[in-house]
Structure 1
Amino acid sequence: MVQTQPNKILVIEDEELIRESIVYLLEVRGFMVINTADGYSGVRLAKELIPDLILCDIRLPGLDGYQVLRVVRADPMTANIPLIFLTAQISVADFEQSQNLAVNGYLAKPFTTAALLKVISDCLNKGTER
């Protein structure tokens, strides 16, 4: 019998309560979760650990989510990692900027557990179709 490794998800979220809640939610569902509170650390962890998916807030200290996405997409080692924005920014301009930068998902806060798990599942399943 072949055992598969759990999907590795990097959570970049500066609000500690939200980050801890997401980490707990994902860990109890069998994901391996790495987390950090700022964009610089998020980029470093993405390059070091090559996660299967990145969940990233837009408004972060240091590098913001848009900058994180640009850096991740510019590096051949991380360019294909799906990235989902989790954010309270829900303006049309923010959504369009996210799409122009090739974000894989966009989930407005507050979000439900079901909505979060669905966007993660959708992104991970698209990755297996490549």
Structure 2
Amino acid sequence: MTKILVIEDEAQTRDILVESLEVEGFDTICAENGRVGVKKAQEYLPDLVICDILMPELDGYGVLTTLRQNFLTEKIPVIFLTARTTNLERYYGMDIGANAYVTKPCTVEGLLAAIAKVCGLCTTLKSN
């Protein structure tokens, strides 16, 4: 079962994401901010991280940079799920190592499509 860490500071959004992913058969872990998210990523080593960008304590860019600097978490795929919608922000997120960039609001189907694309990477990375 694919284990997904959801890092989202808005409780209602986080709850909806977790519930939607669990209905689809994913094992989920959640964190209410970037700092907690990094700790949980290092502890649980999820197959995938879905991360907001605009968060207190440590934003999504900081989460991604921190994960990429640790040998235990450097290859965990990260999907940014964010309200930041400009091309410049999208390019920056991808340039620093995000595997996908999904803008809010999004449908469950849209998020699942991004997960399906990235989970091909999950399978490839686990075999290395």
Stretches of structure 2 that go unaligned for 5 or more consecutive residues are none
Question: What letter matches 1:95 in structure 2?
Answer: R
Identity fraction in percent: 42
Say which one has the larger Rg: 1
Normalising by structure 1, report the TM-score: 0.93
Q: Report the equivalent of 1:105.
A: 100
Q: Report the equivalent of 1:59.
A: 54
Kept in 1, the 8 Å contact 2:2–2:47? The answer is yes
Question: Does 1:16 pair with 2:11?
Answer: yes
CA offset digits 1:36-71 (Å, max 9, x no partner): 110000000000000000000000110000000000
SS at match of 1:127: helix
Moved over 3 A (4+): none
Stretches of structure 1 that go unaligned for 5 or more consecutive residues are 1-5
Q: Report the equivalent of 2:109.
A: 114
Q: Give the length in aligned residue pairs.
A: 125
Q: 1:94 aligns with which of 78, 89, 92?
A: 89
Question: What letter matches 1:8 in structure 2?
Answer: K
Q: Report the equivalent of 2:29.
A: 34
Q: Residues of 1 paired with 2:61 and 2:103: CA distance?
A: 15
Normalising by structure 2, report the TM-score: 0.95
Q: Residues of 2 paired with 1:19 and 1:30: CA distance?
A: 17
What CA RMSD, in Å, does the superposition of the two structures yield over aligned residues? 0.8
Question: Does 1:45 pair with 2:40?
Answer: yes
Kept in 1, the 8 Å contact 2:48–2:122? The answer is no
Q: Which moved more, 1:51-60 or 1:120-129?
A: 120-129
Q: Residues of 1 paired with 2:63 and 2:54: CA distance?
A: 11
